[in-house]
Amino acid sequence: QVQFVESGGGLVQPGGSLRLSCTASGSIFGIWIMGWYRQPPGKQRELVATISRGGSANYAASAKGRFTISRDNAKNTVNLQMNNLKPGDTARYFCYVTSDASYWGRGTQVTVSS
């Protein structure tokens, strides 16, 4: 069984910043991809950013230039630094990892509003 600890969500004004963090633990070995997806209200889940074990990052177009993904392989942790947040970034953000299978966290809410 895989457990996730996700943190860093909250309410922020437009233009503000948040840092999301996710640590995976339990019966999980050899994590290859770690990343974040989000689900805006009333919409489908969508990619935000992923990062490989070797550090290669992939960003959605909406995230490029504003968000930075990083990971600590020793700690099975992935972080997402989000800057210049916009109301359109409001969503529930889900941690995602792949090893022998794909696993999802329960998510953390990010609300961007004045």
The rounded distance, in Å, linking the Cα atoms of 30 and 15 is 37
Q: Give the residue carrying structure tokens 């489908």.
A: 44
Q: Where are the beta strands (DSSP E) in the chain?
A: 2-7, 10-12, 18-26, 33-39, 46-52, 57-59, 67-72, 77-82, 91-98, 102-104, 108-112
pLDDT per residue, tens digit, the chain (114 aa), is 889 999 999 999 999 999 999 999 987 778 889 999 999 999 999 999 999 999 999 999 999 999 999 999 999 999 999 999 999 999 999 999 998 899 999 999 999 999
For residue 27, the model assigns a pLDDT of: 79
For residue 21, the model assigns a pLDDT of: 98
For residue 82, the model assigns a pLDDT of: 98
The rounded distance, in Å, linking the Cα atoms of 97 and 4 is 10
